[in-house]
Structure 1
Amino acid sequence: MDAPLPDTGSVLDLFGLSGSVAVVTGAGSGLGAGFARALAEAGADVVVAARRRDRLEQVAAAVHDVGRRCLVVPTDVTDPDQCDALARATIEEFGRLDVLVNNAGVTHAAPATRERPEDYRNVLEVNLFGAYWTAQACARVMRPGSSIVNVASMLGLVKSVLPQAAYASSKAGMIGLTRDLSNQWSGRKGIRVNAIAPGFVDTDMTGEMSPETLAEFLRDCPLGRTATQREIDAAVVFLASPASGYVTGSTLAVDGGTSGH
């Protein structure tokens, strides 16, 4: 069981990750690349995992620029053996594994009556099964006080404008997985398990949308805009750090109020 934090020092110190080692899956681009850099800025050494080594090397360079160590481990999270190898490589390199950010994911949009079985299975294999295999592997070597942050989506909480049964199913499943793993591991292992549910983020994907399509997506967002990468980074660092030491089994919606609208 994780011990409570002492009521001393600056509250800002609780958000630091100095001396920690964080694993980020899906770190080759987008949100995952941003998470890797943000965790390094908070003081963690980082292990970056994704399928393409060339993209991971670019992210590793950004982590090194912050002054932290970085290990590149090409990984297909749909293969439990590769997830085990990721955890082993982290322990061999750093001797510890304190934070896992389960970010690997793919999306697919198709009308439910026309979605091919292989497309639906692929989304579930990466987004949900992959998160489970990686959490399993990392939890076997994590020590009390560690944290797992699952990257879900507001589409696990609310309806989508597009027909996205596979993606919505996978993200709703990740929220359920978060609750169950927290129930299993928080008390027995001292590993906190939480999720974030981001809304639409200002990325290359949203940049390719027409203004009309983006406006439709944001119609139910009280803040009326997309999130920035840094706003999602801050939520991940919070859940990864001692600042959230009494938070487990929760899903933090970072969606401009959409899911509460």
Structure 2
Amino acid sequence: MILDRFAVTDQVAIVTGAGLGIGRSIAIALAEAGADVVVAARTKADLDEVVARIEETGRRALAVPTDVMETEQLEHLVAETLRVFGRLDILVNNAGGTAPRPAMTTSERYLHHALHFNAIAPFVLTKLAAQAMVDTAGGGSVVNISSRVADMVLTSFVAHGVGKAALTHLTKNVAAELAPAVRVNAIGVGAIATRSLSTVMEDEQMHADLVERTPMGRAGDPEDVACAALYLASPASAWVTGTVVNVDGGSTIPAVQIPVPPLEPRGT
């Protein structure tokens, strides 16, 4: 049966940023497809709710509060996964994101943080996870949650765009090095109706602009991304690596533009 290719029965997955939104939906989807799931985020209360939801599917879950900016905590995350479950098959690097800020008010420190959060942390965790996958399961799959901002011009998103562009490029390069044992792919996420998009969704004009600019006529749902993540994590994509699957409702232009004040001469 072709649907069997989408099952991840008895596999073990790590999902970062799993407490809310896209990460939560991906973690639950993997459990519904048969995986035991380790959920990581900074807020334990959010993780506890996701663990309960996963256990309702009949699969096992483990919450490991983690700050992905700290390498020692990433090492602990992988070690705990192996201690409890004895193997690792799937990694979803979902933690990331950077608040919009005009280029002229974006500091070097802010840009460095965006690059670390969106690309360096996933890179570090991918290396740790890939070795664990090969050691315990003979291989596996890494899914990086990137963004369409990586290849679109969107005002006030220079830091976020740089971080996600780096993640996309990292995906393709690491995939070439880790094949054939470990597949590495990414999802280019468009405008998804999560808490981070609440300002747009609650503003009548901005929401209308988003709908008008999106061929599918709506914002995405976290489960839209979860479906793509399941495909890339599962044997259904066994001959797919180093690619980016865009989940963006067909957008070819940014769904929303943030007004930026013009650059004026400084006073003397």
TM-score by length of 1: 0.91
Q: What's 1:7 paired with?
A: none
Cα distance in 2, alignment partners of residues 230 and 82 from structure 1:
28
1:73 to 51, 64, 70: 64
Q: Secondary structure at the match of 1:18?
A: coil
Partner of 2:14: 23
Name structure 2 gaps, 5 residues minimum: 255-268
Q: Which residue of 1 aligns with 2:207?
A: 214
* Stretches of structure 1 lacking an aligned partner (at least 5 in a row): 1-9
Paired AA for residue 213 in structure 2:
D
**Alpha-carbon distance in 1 for matches of 2:91, 2:252:** 25
**1:88 corresponds to:** 79
**Larger mean Cα displacement after TM superposition, 201-210 or 76-85:** 201-210
SS of the counterpart of 1:142? helix
Which amino acid is 1:173 matched to? A
2:98 counterpart residue number: 107
2: CA distance, partners of 1:110 / 1:248: 33
Q: Is contact 1:108-1:123 (8 Å) kept?
A: no
Counterpart residue identity of residue 150, structure 2? G
Equivalent pairs, count: 249
Write the letter of the residue equivalent to 1:233. Answer: A
Larger Rg: 2
Deviation at 1:217, TM superposition (A): 3.8
Q: How does 1:112-261 map to 2 (within 5 A)?
A: 112-143=103-134, 144-160=138-154, 162-187=155-180, 190-209=181-200, 210-259=203-252
- Once residues 181 and 260 of structure 1 are traced to their aligned partners in structure 2, the CA distance between those partners, rounded to angstroms, is 28
Partner amino acid for 2:215?
P
| Amino acid of the structure 2 residue aligned with 1:159 | V
Q: Is the 8 A contact 1:195 1:252 kept in 2?
A: yes
RMSD: 1.6
Quote how far apart the aligned CAs of 1:85 are. Answer: 1.2
Task: State the 4+ residue runs in structure 1 displaced beyond 4 angstroms.
Answer: none
Percentage of identical aligned residues? 38
Distance 2:21 2:109 in 1: 25
Q: Distance in 2 between matches of 1:199 and 1:218?
A: 12
CA distance in 1, matches of 2:127, 2:89: 14
Deviation at 1:256? 1.0
Aligned partner of 2:160: which letter?
A: Y
Matched, 1:46 2:37: yes
Q: Partners in 2 of 1:56 and 1:106 — Cα distance?
A: 19
CA separation in 1, counterparts of 2:47 and 2:184? 25
**Superposition deviation, residue 260 in structure 1:** 8.4
Could you say what secondary structure the match of 1:113 adopts?
helix
Q: CA deviation at 1:218?
A: 4.4
| Aligned partners of 1:50 and 1:76 also within 8 Å | yes
Partner Cα separation in structure 2 for residue 48 and residue 80 of structure 1: 17
1:151 aligns to what SS in structure 2? strand
User: Using the alignment, how far apart are the partners of 1:180 and 1:104 within structure 2?
Assistant: 20
* Residues 1:13 and 2:13 are matched in the alignment: no
Letter matched to residue 243 of structure 2: S
Matches of 1:193 and 1:59, distance apart in 2: 25
Report Cα offsets for 1:52-110 as digits up to 9, x if no partner: 21211111111111111011111111112211111111111101000000000132211
1:119-176 CA distance string (max 9 Å, x none): 222222211111111111111111334100000011112222x411110111111110
Distance 1:43 1:96, change over 3 A: same
Does the CA contact (< 8 Å) of 2:210 and 2:218 recur in 1? no
Which residue type is aligned with residue 49 of structure 1? A
Q: Secondary structure at the match of 2:79?
A: helix
Change (3 A) 1:123 1:141: same
